[in-house]
Amino acid sequence: MRKPIIAGNWKMNKTPEEAAELVKALVPAVKGADCDVVVCVPAVCFAAVMEAAKGSNIRLGAQNVHFAKSGAYTGELSVDMLTACGVEYVVIGHSERRQYFGETDATVNLRVKAAVAGGLTPIVCVGEKKEERENGYTDAIVEYQTRMALTGLTGEQISALVIAYEPVWAIGTGLTATDEQANETISVIRKAIARQYGQHVADAVRIQYGGSMNPGNVKGLMAQPEIDGGLIGGASLKAPDFTAVVMYNK
Ligand code: PGA
């Protein structure tokens, strides 16, 4: 049995003060959650979130990481910097990074390998664009992105990481994949992993759905057998909404 994992992706939102306020409200509210709970926050909020989440079941995540140990990479953060701040998870290859910041399957792979080597758990994002789904390329795209992202990792390393299937057309649009669409595409990803790395790896790896997941649709999505959690954008910015998503089975 895979333990579900629900992660908030705050994107470029919240000052440290606002972050502390949100996490303070979440701590008692998500206390009895049956899933792993993560908030992936802007780096300037790491300290405030760590402090507010102390002693709770809320884990800290980042939204990107560089693959070099250190060096002349202005604006970037290394694995060691993140782990030193208490970060345990890191979103890699989010479609916004792919779309606006030149992220490619090759750089996603470098980041994933560096994160794993340094003890961070990657949340690796894959997903098709609207025209790709309309033209029937969804399965091919997500399978290719997944294979590329995981190249060079062992089955054991893959078992321990998290994949987020996020159809690009569903992110921040209010459009959600239907429960069945999300389940089906996640099953395509899992089968691709099974073919390459073995069924035991595919059975262990956790695959989230992301894209306008919210208190209204979380139950249906989480009832699908292949969906092991969610990566939550907009609905992770307000304590009552994120609480309702995390406590979907209560
Ligand atoms: P959304 O974002 O929930 O606002 O659609 C999800 C994501 O981008 O991870």
CATH number at residue 35: 3.20.20.70
Task: Assess whether pLDDT exceeds 90 at residue 1.
Answer: no
Decide if 166 is catalytic: yes
**Segment 98-130, tens digit of pLDDT:** 999 999 999 999 999 999 999 999 999 999 999
CA 236 to CA 201: how far, in whole Å? 29
Domain coverage including residue 102: 5-246
Please give the number of the atom of ligand 1 that sits closest to the Cα of 91: 9
User: Structurally, how many domains does the chain consist of?
Assistant: 1
Distance 235 CA to ligand 1 centre (A): 8
Residue 133 phi/psi, 5-degree rounding, is: -65, -45
Q: How confident is the model at residue 154 (pLDDT cuts 50, 70, 90)?
A: very high
Task: Assess whether pLDDT exceeds 90 at residue 249.
Answer: yes
Q: Which residue minimizes the CA distance to atom 7 of ligand 1? A: 233
Mean pLDDT score of the chain: 97
Distance 8 CA to ligand 1 centre (A): 9
Quick one: average pLDDT of 7-36?
A: 98
CA 27 to CA 93: how far, in whole Å? 28
Of 190, 185, 108, 120, whose CA–CA distance to 151 is shortest?
Answer: 108
Work out the number of other CB atoms within 10 angstroms of the CB of residue 71: 8
Catalytic residue chosen out of the listed positions 96, 132, 143, 166: 166
Q: Which residues are CB-neighbours of 246 under 8 A, at least 6 positions away?
A: 6, 30, 33, 35, 37
Quick one: average pLDDT of 196-211?
A: 98
**Segment 162-199, tens digit of pLDDT:** 999 999 999 989 888 899 999 999 999 999 999 999 99
Helices marked H in the chain: 16-29, 46-53, 79-84, 95-100, 105-117, 130-134, 138-150, 155-160, 179-197, 199-204, 218-222, 239-246
Q: What is the pLDDT of residue 113?
A: 98
